[in-house]
Chains A and B, each alone.
Chain A
Amino acid sequence: MDRREFLKVTGAGAASLAIAGLDPLAALSAEKQAVARQAVGKQAPLLFVVTRGGSPDKNYAAALKALGGMSKFVSRGDVVVVKPNIGWDRLPEQAANTDPTLVRAVVKSCYDAGAKKVKVFDYPCNDPRRTYVRSGIAEAAKSAGAEVSFVDERKFKQVDMKGTVLKTWPVYSEALDCDRLINVPVAKHHGSSRLTMALKNWMGVIGDPRGRLHQDFDHSLADLGRFFRPSLTVLDATRILTAYGPQGGDTKDVRTLNTLVVGTDQVAIDSYGTSFFGMKGTQMGYLVEATRLGVGQVDLSKVRHSVIEVS
Chain B
Amino acid sequence: MANLRRISQVVFILIFFFLLVQTQYQGRDEIGYPVRLFLDLDPLFAGLLLLSTFSLKPILLLSLITVGLSLFLGRFFCGWGCPFGTLHNTARELARRPRKLEHGLYGKAQAWKYAVLVAVVLSALFSMSLLGVMDPLSLTVRSLSLGIGPSLELVVRSFFDGLYAYAPGWVSAVSEPVYRFLRDYVLAFSQPHFLQGAFLGVIFIGLLALNVAKSRFWCRYVCPLGALLAVLSKPALLRLEMIGQCDRCGKCARSCPTGASPALGDGWRKAECIYCWNCVEVCPTRALSFVFARPQKKDGRVDLSRRNFVWSLGAGLVAVPLMRISPSLARPHPKLIRPPGARPEKEFLERCVKCSECMRVCLTNGLQPTLMEAGLEGMWSPQLVPRIGYCEYSCTLCGQVCPTGAIEKLDLETKRKTVIGLAFVDRNRCLPHAMNINCAVCEEQCPTPKKAIVFKDTEAVDGNGKKFTLKLPYVVTELCIGCGICENKCPVVDEPAIYVTNINESRAPARSLLLAPKSMS
Contacts and interface: CB of A to CB of B under 8 A. Distances in A.
Contacts of A211: 439, 441, 489-491
Indicate the member of B189, B395, B440, B490 with the most A CB atoms within 10 Å. B440
B401 interface: no
B437 interface: yes
B451 A130 contact: no
Contacts of B490: 211
Interface string B419-456: 00000000000010000011111011111111100010
A168 interface: no
Contacts of A246: 444
A192 B471 contact: yes
B444 A191 contact: yes
B153 interface: no
B515 interface: no
Nearest to B441: A211
Interface string B115-142: 0000000000000000000000000000
B27 interface: yes
Nearest to A88: B447
B392 A191 contact: no
Contacts of B455: 191-192
Contact of B363 (A130, A154, A212): A130
Interface stretch (A121-129, A156-164, A265-273): A121-129
Indicate the member of A212, A215, A248 with the most B CB atoms within 10 Å. A215
B493 interface: yes
Interface in A110-145: 125-130, 133-134
Given A130-B363, A209-B491, A250 B392 contact: no
The B interface, classified by DSSP as helix, strand, loop or mixed, is loop
Interface in B350-364: 363-364
B164 to A, nearest CB: 6
Indicate the member of A127, A134, A190, A217 with the most B CB atoms within 10 Å. A127
B449 A244 contact: yes
B450 A244 contact: yes
A127 B363 contact: yes
Contact of B443 (A134, A191, A217): A191
A214 interface: yes
B447 A249 contact: yes
B437 A215 contact: yes
A215 B489 contact: no
A259 interface: no
B445 A125 contact: yes
Contacts of A190: 444
Interface in A230-286: 244, 246-250, 253
A191 B440 contact: yes
B444 A249 contact: no
A73 to B, nearest CB: 31
Contacts of B471: 191-192
Contacts of B395: 127, 130
Contacts of B443: 191-192
Contacts of B447: 89, 126, 247, 249
Given A89-B393, A129-B363, A191-B455, A215 B438 contact: yes
A214 B450 contact: no
Contacts of A216: 438
Contacts of A126: 392-393, 447
Contacts of A129: 25, 27, 189, 363
A217 B440 CA distance: 11
A214 B449 contact: no
Nearest to B445: A125
Contacts of B440: 191-192, 214
Contact of A154 (B161, B392, B444): B161
A212 B435 CA distance: 14
B305 interface: no
Contacts of B444: 125, 190-192, 214, 246-247
A44 B67 CA distance: 84
B449 A134 contact: no
Indicate the member of B25, B27, B444 with the most A CB atoms within 10 Å. B444
B438 A249 contact: no
Contacts of A128: 189
Contacts of B3: none
Contacts of B393: 89, 126
A127 B393 CA distance: 10
Contact of B491 (A127, A212, A217): A212
B165 interface: yes
Contacts of A209: 491, 493
B367 to A, nearest CB: 14
Interface string B489-521: 111010000000000000000000000000000
Interface string B11-41: 0000000000000010110000000000000
Interface in B372-394: 392-394
Nearest to A134: B394
B448 A249 contact: yes
Indicate the member of A130, A217, A246, A250 with the most B CB atoms within 10 Å. A130
A215 B393 CA distance: 26
A134 B363 CA distance: 15
A128 B25 CA distance: 11
B439 A215 contact: yes
Given A134-B394, A214-B439, A250 B431 contact: no
Contact of B438 (A89, A125, A133, A214): A214
A250 B416 CA distance: 13
Contacts of A133: 27-28
A89 B449 contact: no
B290 to A, nearest CB: 49
Given A89-B394, A127-B395, A130-B392, A247 B446 contact: yes
Interface string A21-43: 00000000000000000000000
Interface in B448-476: 448-451, 455, 471
Contacts of B448: 249
A246 B451 CA distance: 11
Nearest to A252: B449
A128 B393 CA distance: 13
Given A89-B393, A250-B449, A127 B364 contact: yes
Contacts of B28: 133
B369 to A, nearest CB: 21
Nearest to A94: B449
A246 to B, nearest CB: 6
10 contacts: A89-B394, A127-B395, A130-B394, A130-B395, A154-B165, A192-B439, A192-B471, A217-B438, A246-B444, A247-B444
Q: Give the 6 A-B residue pairs with the shortest CB-CB distance, closest first.
A: A249-B449, A192-B440, A250-B449, A211-B491, A211-B441, A127-B363
Interface of B: 25, 27-28, 161, 164-165, 189, 363-364, 392-395, 431, 437-441, 443-451, 455, 471, 489-491, 493
Given A130-B392, A192-B439, 4 more contacts: A126-B392, A154-B164, A191-B440, A214-B439
